[in-house]
Amino acid sequence: MNTQRLATLRISPLHVQQGLFASLALMITLIVVQQFNHWNQSQEVTSIQHAYSHSAPFAKASALKATDVALSLQPVEEAAAALDQAPRKQSWIF
């Protein structure tokens, strides 16, 4: 019964062989492209890690002086006071 269907479709063994070869070539191409992309991504990650590891050495930890901390807090306090004085805009919150 199956041979009669193949005979009516006129599929020769050569057509089957060519189809299998085309499928094999497509599968090999896809695998090679996937491996190439994986290799490129791993090279990029390695180069990025290498750049970050050598770009800046670890800095020494040092404590800030009390005057430095006080000076750094002044602009924040001024900004908070300016926000309190500014009129509020109405906004919709859902």
In a domain, 84, yes or no: no
In a domain, 69, yes or no: no
Fill in the amino acid letter for 69: V
Between 84 and 55, the higher pLDDT residue: 84
For 86, phi and psi rounded to 5 degrees?
A: -75, 145
Fill in the amino acid letter for 42: S
Whole-model pTM: value is 0.41
Gap between the Cα atoms of 39 and 94, Å rounded: 47
Q: Which H or E run includes 27?
A: helix 13-55
Supply the pLDDT for residue 36.
94
Supply the pLDDT for residue 1.
54
- Write the pLDDT tens digit of every residue in 23-51: 999 999 999 999 999 998 888 777 776 66
Gap between the Cα atoms of 94 and 92, Å rounded: 6
In a domain, 62, yes or no: no
Average pLDDT over residues 2-16: 80
Between 4 and 19, the higher pLDDT residue: 19
In a domain, 91, yes or no: no
Site of tokens 């050569």:
14
In a domain, 26, yes or no: yes
Please give the residue range of the domain that contains residue 22. Answer: 1-55
Structure tokens at 6: 């193949």
What's the number of domains the chain is made of? 1
In a domain, 34, yes or no: yes
